[in-house]
Structure 1
Amino acid sequence: MNVKQYLDSTYLKTASQAGLSEEENNIVVKNTIAEAIIEGFKLIMIRPEKVSLAKEMILKANSTLLVGTVIDFPEGNSDLETKIKEANEAIENGADDLDFVCNYEAFKNGDIALVKKEILIGTQIGLANNKTVKWIIEVAALTDKEIIQLSALIKNVVITNFKEEDYALVFVKSSTGFFKTENDLPNGATIPAIIMMLENASPLPVKAAGGVRSYDDAIEMIRLGVKRIGTSAAKLIANGQNTTNQY
């Protein structure tokens, strides 16, 4: 099994979040992109303002590495117009994957119509431009029942409005990696959460993001049925080592 083709190597910190200067943080971004090219990972997941840089480096290296970016990250509670604007800018800059943060707070508050509309419109924009779309549901912010319901809601919007051949391009994704939990509880993918997502999002694929900290963790997720894994320690995991990174 080529685990590298499941790995989305991820770096989403701003300079202030990383405790670095802008110049230092940009070096980290460049090094992460370069590593992903050399290692042959599936995709590099970076912030929107770094997409053009990644595309330039990938083109220069004649690499097949994909570029993904996040939309309305990390809270997901902006209005639909903001999500659309960010998505269109990412598409113009050459992003291959659009990882939208679903408005999970609106979902928790019962505004189902709003959530359905943003999933429909966001997915339409992505698919119309031949992009892969992922909806981040932030499992650490949800109860088990809500994980089940939100996974099913995304599935139902997609199967009602899109063709069967599009299903493989619309993922349900577990986490941003930035959600603050109480008492150091996991803020990313857990086995129980992923199982609930797989059971209720199918036939849509699932991405496990956050919490995958070893090669064995990655293999277990793949055996469960996930199609992509988001991690900031892709090289360590691919080389059979463990990481203490939160994402």
Structure 2
Amino acid sequence: MNIRQYLDSTYLKRAIQAGITEKENIKIVQGFVREAIDEQFKLVMVRPEMVAMAKKMITDAKSQVDIGTVIDFPEGRSTVEIKLDEAFKAIQDGADDLDFVCNYEAFRNGQVDLVKEEILKCTLLGLKHHKVVKWIIEVAALNNQQIIQLSALIKNVVMTNFKEENYATVFVKSSTGFYKTENNLPNGATVPAIIMMLENASPLPIKAAGGVRTYEEAVEMIQLGVKRIGTSGAKAIADGAVSNSDY
């Protein structure tokens, strides 16, 4: 199976997180963009401040690779207004996909109306500009019941407020890949979590992100029904090797 069109090749570290200079970090991002073009991955996922640069590289190469970025990353605690401003700037810079971090902490605290509001308003902004919207729910921060409830909540907001033709472009996504877990527990996509998301977010598509490190794991996710896979080791996975990336 050629899985390249399922892969969102991802690099989201700030220079300080990678322990390198800004200039060195930009070179890494440029390498990811060039690799995505050469390998014909579905998408390259970069931080918002890197979108304009990635857009120019892809346009200059006459490539069909899409550009994705993350909004309110990685904690998702900002106000709806801040999320909307960040997303609008990314749209202006040329982003095709907007991966919003859902305010999962507010959800855990019972602030359901706040979460519904951000899902509605941010999804509306993305769809109005013909963008793909993804909602990261951070499964490692949730228990099973919360994974089920938040997946269903996103589905219900979308189905209540948008047309059926839009469903395919609003994803529920498992993880940021940056959540700190205790005792080295998985912080990304696991098969049980993905199954719960598939069962409760349908007909919205699912993106598995974080923790997919081999071709076999990627194929397993695709066979379960996942439509996208986010990984910082896309080339290794596509080539059948084991990715040693950490998200």
For 1:145-156, what aligned pairs fall within 5 Å after superposition?
145-156=145-156
Match of 1:173 in 2: 173
For structure 2, the residue ranges without an aligned partner over 5 or more in a row are: none
* SS of aligned partner of 1:207: strand
* SS of aligned partner of 1:8: strand
Query: TM-score with structure 2 length normalisation?
Result: 0.99
Match of 1:40 in 2: 40
Shift of 1:245: 1.8
Distance across 2 between alignment mates of 1:178 and 1:215: 22
* SS of aligned partner of 1:235: helix
For 1:66-215, what aligned pairs fall within 5 Å after superposition?
66-215=66-215
Shift of 1:86: 0.2
Distance across 2 between alignment mates of 1:244 and 1:93: 31
Q: Runs (4+) of structure 1 moved beyond 6 Å?
A: none
Match of 2:225 in 1: 225
Distance across 2 between alignment mates of 1:27 and 1:244: 20
Distance across 1 between alignment mates of 2:85 and 2:20: 28
Structure 2: which amino acid aligns with 1:65? V
Distance across 1 between alignment mates of 2:243 and 2:10: 14
Distance across 1 between alignment mates of 2:191 and 2:51: 31
Distance across 1 between alignment mates of 2:116 and 2:243: 36
Distance across 1 between alignment mates of 2:27 and 2:99: 23
Q: Tell me, yes or no, if structure 1 residue 242 matches structure 2 residue 236.
A: no
Deviations 1:54-109 (A, max 9, x none): 11000111100000000000000001110010010000001000000000000000
Shift of 1:244: 2.5
* SS of aligned partner of 2:186: coil
For structure 1, the residue ranges without an aligned partner over 5 or more in a row are: none
* SS of aligned partner of 1:135: strand
- How high is the sequence identity, in percent, across the aligned residues? 68
Q: CA RMSD in A?
A: 0.5
Distance across 2 between alignment mates of 1:246 and 1:209: 11
Shift of 1:243: 1.6
Distance across 2 between alignment mates of 1:56 and 1:181: 37
* SS of aligned partner of 1:68: strand
